[in-house]
Copies of this chain bind each other. A is one copy, B any other.
Amino acid sequence: MAKGASLSGFPEWLPEERVVEQRAIDTLRRIFELNGFLGIETRAVEQGSSLLKKGETSKEIYLLSRLQEVGQENDTPVEDRLGLHFDLTVPLSRYVVEHSGDVVFPFKRWQIQKVWRGERPQEGRFREFIQADIDVVGNGDLPSHYEVELPLVMVSALEALREFGLPKATVHANNRKLSEGFYRGLGLTDVEGVLREIDKLDKIGADEVSKLLVSECGASEAQASACLELAGLSAATGEELGERFRELCARHGIEESSEAYQLANEGLATLAMIVDEAARIRPGAVVADLKIARGLDYYTGSVYETFLDGAASLGSICSGGRYDNLATQGKKKYPGVGLSIGLSRLVSYMLHTAGAKASRQSPAAVLVAVWNEDERSRANRIAAMLRSRGIATDVAPTAAKLGKQIKYADRLGIPYVWFPGQDGADDEVKNIVSGDQSKADAETWTPDERVALQTVEYGER
């Protein structure tokens, strides 16, 4: 975080850092649009009643009150108050229902916005941060092929972010139905509880999770051990996944004719499809990982988490899943599947771990020098000419000594300084990095493209 971040949990970047964030946003938008997603922006506020629907996260809501209402806030029930959105999925659900007559289904949308969570700030947790989401929402139904296509779009997006120092990303996929069917087949009934404990595997290890399954979820030692076996199952292909899963079920006495097995098998089919299709399109990008649980309770099928090579401590940087019951209107359902990148955390990684930085602070490629204040108007006209030709240009703040003007350019990283010709002489332009200086006409001069571009670089410097 910028060293001056004066409010814990609310990151703020210096201008040369913001360039990295801005370029990352531009890159994500480009990839999302390349994949045919439509951009929307929703209001930052939602009704308390919408925000409270979404279970666990709800305690992190920031509620609003107008200054005039101070002292009377509690006359209004929380459900009727406004709060800041804590993700972009709840707003999407509302948006889709409101505009169901205006959008084309399946509705593929991207959205990059700030979200707010009033949680206690801790290492790597922000109270205000940018999320970058893609979702596809169907009207009534939604084909399962989107459950592999969306993680693949995110893989492309994260791949494009490697330009800013991000390591390779791998999506880990699982399926709620598979887990639920298996747990029920074992005779466990507290499915939510088991998922919640399994979700802790990476943090606390198998032994502790096993104890919790016994103490919190009413599992026997054998049942707990079977849950851990499922969580540890991996496979390179859909076929292999199927074989291993069937072997596991057989060994734990889950019969293929049972309802529980049927449910698990539905999830298995989708997960196998995901693994195989992803391998065809982008080998190694998506793996089956049966310990992925996802805390949020609105996922009903596929769930995803994404990890960066060598950055396990970041946790999942892009998560999501399929949700069939989030958006409803009377009897009508709008099932969706989506993933969300926690962008601020990634930008923090780019800046502070990968060492990403703008090649210079100022977007300007040229600084026009000013010999004396009476000639400022001429400098302004030169700058206007360069800008009209698409060359970003600044003008010296004061008619200080030339060395001081060059130092201003240098501090901002502006590579060219333009000297208006005096006493009828031609103008000249100097590349203050190389020292090259030559005559130049603002109507025709063109900078070296590599020098003129403000770029982002990363790594040791």
Cβ-defined contact, B362 with A38, below 8 A? yes
Cβ-defined contact, A34 with B392, below 8 A? yes
- The yes or no answer to A266 lying at the interface (CB within 8 A) is no
Cβ-defined contact, B109 with A84, below 8 A? no
- The yes or no answer to A434 lying at the interface (CB within 8 A) is no
Return chain B residues, CB-CB under 8 Å to A3.
102
Partner of A67, one of B58, B103, B128: B58
Return chain B residues, CB-CB under 8 Å to A47.
7
Cβ-defined contact, A145 with B14, below 8 A? no
Cβ-defined contact, B114 with A35, below 8 A? no
Return chain B residues, CB-CB under 8 Å to A34.
363, 387, 390-393
Partner of A363, one of B37, B70, B116: B37
- The yes or no answer to A60 lying at the interface (CB within 8 A) is yes
How distant is the Cα of A16 from the Cα of B99 in the complex, in angstroms? Answer: 13
Partner-binding segment picked from A177-185, A320-328, A377-385: A377-385
How distant is the Cα of A116 from the Cα of B45 in the complex, in angstroms? Answer: 10
Cβ-defined contact, A44 with B128, below 8 A? yes
How distant is the Cα of A61 from the Cα of B69 in the complex, in angstroms? Answer: 10
- The yes or no answer to A247 lying at the interface (CB within 8 A) is no
How distant is the Cα of A428 from the Cα of B77 in the complex, in angstroms? Answer: 60
| Residue interface mask A384-407, B partner, CB < 8 A = 1 | 100100111111011000000000
Partner of A38, one of B363, B380, B408: B363
Cβ-defined contact, B10 with A43, below 8 A? yes
Cβ-defined contact, A12 with B95, below 8 A? yes
Cβ-defined contact, B66 with A118, below 8 A? yes
Partner of A103, one of B6, B15, B95, B363: B15
Chain A, range 263-277, C-beta contacts under 8 Å to B: 277
How distant is the Cα of A16 from the Cα of B44 in the complex, in angstroms? Answer: 20
- The yes or no answer to A280 lying at the interface (CB within 8 A) is yes
- Give the one of A67, A118, A280 with max B CB within 10 A: A67
How distant is the Cα of A145 from the Cα of B375 in the complex, in angstroms? Answer: 12
| Residue interface mask A57-101, B partner, CB < 8 A = 1 | 011111111111011011000100011100000000011001100
How distant is the Cα of A71 from the Cα of B74 in the complex, in angstroms? Answer: 6
Partner-binding segment picked from A17-25, A219-227, A302-310: A17-25
When all copies of this chain in the complex are counted, the total is: 2
Return chain B residues, CB-CB under 8 Å to A103.
14-15
Cβ-defined contact, B128 with A45, below 8 A? yes
- The yes or no answer to A2 lying at the interface (CB within 8 A) is yes
* CB of A113, distance to nearest CB on chain B (Å): 9
Cβ-defined contact, A14 with B99, below 8 A? yes
Partner of A70, one of B22, B63, B381, B392: B63
Interface residues, chain A, with chain B CB atoms under 8 Å away: 2-4, 6-7, 10-15, 18-19, 21-22, 33-45, 47, 58-68, 70-71, 73-74, 78, 82-84, 94-95, 98-99, 102-104, 106, 108-109, 114, 116, 118, 128, 143, 145, 149, 156, 277, 280-281, 361-364, 367, 373, 376-377, 380-381, 384, 387, 390-395, 397-398, 408, 411-412, 414
**Given A35-B393, A38-B361, 11 extra CB contacts under 8 A:** A3-B102, A15-B109, A35-B364, A36-B364, A36-B367, A64-B64, A64-B118, A67-B118, A143-B398, A149-B380, A280-B381
Q: Which 10 A-B pairs have the closest CB atoms?
A: A36-B394, A66-B118, A36-B364, A33-B363, A15-B38, A10-B43, A4-B98, A61-B67, A62-B64, A104-B411
A–B complex contacts, Cβ < 8 Å, 18 sampled: A12-B42, A14-B40, A18-B41, A35-B392, A36-B362, A36-B392, A37-B363, A38-B363, A43-B128, A63-B66, A63-B70, A64-B64, A70-B78, A71-B74, A104-B411, A143-B398, A145-B373, A281-B380
